[in-house]
Structure 1
Amino acid sequence: MLNISERKLLTLIFLILIVVLGLDIVDDLNEGASLSHVVKEVLVMVLGTLGVLVLWNKYLKAKSKVRDIQVNIEKLKEDLSHYKEETQHLSQGIGQKINDQLERWSLTKSEKDIALLLLKGLSVREISEIRSSSEKTIKQHCSNLYQKANIKGRSELSAFFLEDILVLDL
């Protein structure tokens, strides 16, 4: 899409072309040029004028869409901010409950960190990169924490904390 300065330059070129063609048509008529020649030049002038109008019409529509999108973005930002304000105490409460449970399972600091990263949905590879550890080491920490928590794996870890949060109306 053309920026405003490119659009203005293109419009200026079209307008100059239209004026020059208009003057040429007047000269041709005064000099007795054939009707078919004059009609062709009028057609070129009309097409140039239509080109300018189409160009600006598309620009104005695009500008309107951008304005609508910006309004929508601002609305979404406000909604997100409002949601965060409303749920901040809940997420802090949930975070504290998760930490309390991890303490009850007597997890090491590393196991707690890995458990939180697993709950956030990170893969073993991603966790190993974040912690600058081998995947084997992360897998061993996972096994230890699953054993201490008496669960079978990542999905049960997530389910343990989500079970009481998610209420399903069946």
Structure 2
Amino acid sequence: MALINDNKRFIQWAIALSLFVSVLITLDFIGDYRDGVAWTHLLTEVLILTFSLAGIVYFGRLYHQFAQSKINLLRQDLALANQQAQQWREANRGLIEGLAAQIKKQFDSWQLTPAEAEVGMLMLKGLSFSEIAGLRNASERTVRDQARAIYRKSGLAGRTELSAFFLEDLLLPRQ
């Protein structure tokens, strides 16, 4: 990945330099044309301008290829992570279902409403209030109010204590 970033910087500098040369040559060409400089000199400047513009196009395409390769690497990493997560979920399906059932029982014992229980489960999954509001088509204020109701009914101080209530005993014992 460092090699890709180094090449990316090189290409960015090459594009900037080619653009700078193009601007300077264009300004020089305009001045020389107004001064009546020989057409061979003007032709040379047009040739230099053409090469610098070609450089911009070439390095622009190269930059695009590097960006695409980085995107492809990220997609591969994401696909692998999703595959590993799916394998973990499948291997631990019974444990996950049992934990979900126990969380639901605890929510029932706290007498949470169905909406509060859904918000509580989404909070345990790590979603923010705005993300929960978006998923539930509710306002963020409603979600915050439901979270406060969860804390009040459970006697817990906040999101951290809510998570710890269910996850604390999952930590490996110290040896």
Q: TM-score range by the shorter chain?
A: 0.5 to 0.7
Partner of 1:157: 162
How far did 1:118 drift? 2.7
Whole-Å Cα distance in 1 between the matches of residues 131 and 50 of structure 2? 61
Which of the numbers 122, 147, 151 marks the counterpart of 1:117? 122
Cα deviations across residues 2-42 of structure 1 (Å, max 9, x unaligned)?
A: xxxxxxxxxxxxxxxxxxxxxxxxxxxxxxxxxx6145223
Tell me, yes or no, if structure 1 residue 59 matches structure 2 residue 52.
no
How far did 1:135 drift? 6.3
Structure of greater relative contact order (alpha carbons < 8 Å, 6+ residues apart): 2
Partner of 1:71: 72
SS in 2 for 1:40: helix
Equivalent pairs, count:
131
How far did 1:116 drift? 1.0
Cα deviations across residues 138-164 of structure 1 (Å, max 9, x unaligned)?
A: 2334311x13xxx44321111122323
Percent of pairs identical after alignment? 15
**Conserved in 2, the CA contact under 8 Å of 1:114 and 1:142?**
no
Partner of 1:142: 151
Partner of 2:102: 100
**Conserved in 2, the CA contact under 8 Å of 1:115 and 1:142?**
no
Q: If you compute each CA radius of gyration, which structure gives the higher value, 1 or 2?
A: 1
Gaps of 5+ in 1: 1-35
Cα deviations across residues 60-90 of structure 1 (Å, max 9, x unaligned)?
A: 3123213312421331232123222222133
Partner of 2:86: 85
Gaps of 5+ in 2: 1-36
Name the CA shift for 1:49/1:126 in 2 (closer, same or farther; >3 Å).
closer
Q: What is the TM-score when the length of structure 1 is the normalising length?
A: 0.55
SS in 1 for 2:161: helix
